[in-house]
Amino acid sequence: MEDALSAVDEMTPYQLLGGEGVVRWLCNRFYDIMDSEPAAAPLRAMHPADLAGSRQKLFMFLSGWLGGPSLYIEAFGHPRLRMRHLPFAIDEAARDQWMACMRTAVGELVVEDEVKDKLLAALYQTADFMRNT
Ligand code: HEM
């Protein structure tokens, strides 16, 4: 019989974080921070005035990326994330602003520190890969 620990081992990051509601909360919090944090103003300026679409797309992408429903792929096809970011000049400063907003938002989640650390490390890899300038 499967014990509780091996069941946790088999959980996806999506499940470990708490599922749809938590992933959606994280995306909204991330953009609220970007929208209000003065240090993120250059990053905010790259985005549309209305962040509703950005919030929804990040939620749909992270859902699949974390092992939950592949909402983004179902709606828009292959993410080709790096290509979709080419219109924006992403340098180390932009990457660091993005990560700073995400670090604050992830820090507010009520999950194990180990889950937060792994999530932030994986997000950093992705954010660093977006650099094009
Ligand atoms: C490294 C710094 C980053 C910058 C400066 C940046 C900037 C942007 C900008 C300006 C947009 C367009 C917003 C819109 O059309 O509403 C965008 C879209 C998007 N970003 Fe990023 N981003 C970064 C990193 C990331 C990372 C790490 C992820 C995923 C983990 C991500 C996921 C997305 C997604 C899914 C979209 C929507 C793409 C589409 O369908 O058009 N971004 N990003």
Residue 13 belongs to a domain: no
Which pLDDT belongs to residue 6? 73
Residue 22's pLDDT is 98
Q: Which residues, judged by CB distance below 6 Å to any ligand atom, belong to the binding site of ligand 1?
A: 43, 46-48, 53-54, 57-58, 61, 76, 81, 84-85, 88, 90, 94-95, 98, 123, 126-127, 130
Where in the sequence is the domain holding 29, given as residue range(s)?
18-129
In what helix (H) or strand (E) does residue 26 lie, and over which residues does it extend? helix 20-36
| pLDDT tens string 79-108 | 999 999 999 999 999 999 999 999 999 999
In a domain, 108, yes or no: yes
- Is residue 10 a part of any domain in this protein? no
pLDDT bucket at 4, cuts 50 / 70 / 90: low
Q: Is residue 11 situated within a structural domain?
A: no
* Residue 133 pLDDT greater than 70, yes or no: yes
Ligand 1 centroid to Cα of residue 120, in Å, is 16
Helix axes 20-36, 52-65, angle to 10 degrees: 140
Residue 77, domain CATH: 1.10.490.10
Q: What is the pLDDT of residues 16-68, one digit of tens each?
A: 999 999 999 999 999 999 999 999 999 999 999 999 999 999 999 999 999 99
DSSP 35-91: HH-GGGHHHHHHS-SS-HHHHHHHHHHHHHHTTS--HHHHHHSS--HHHHHTTS---
State the total domains in the chain: 1
- The predicted pLDDT at position 9 comes to 78
pLDDT reported for residue 1: 54
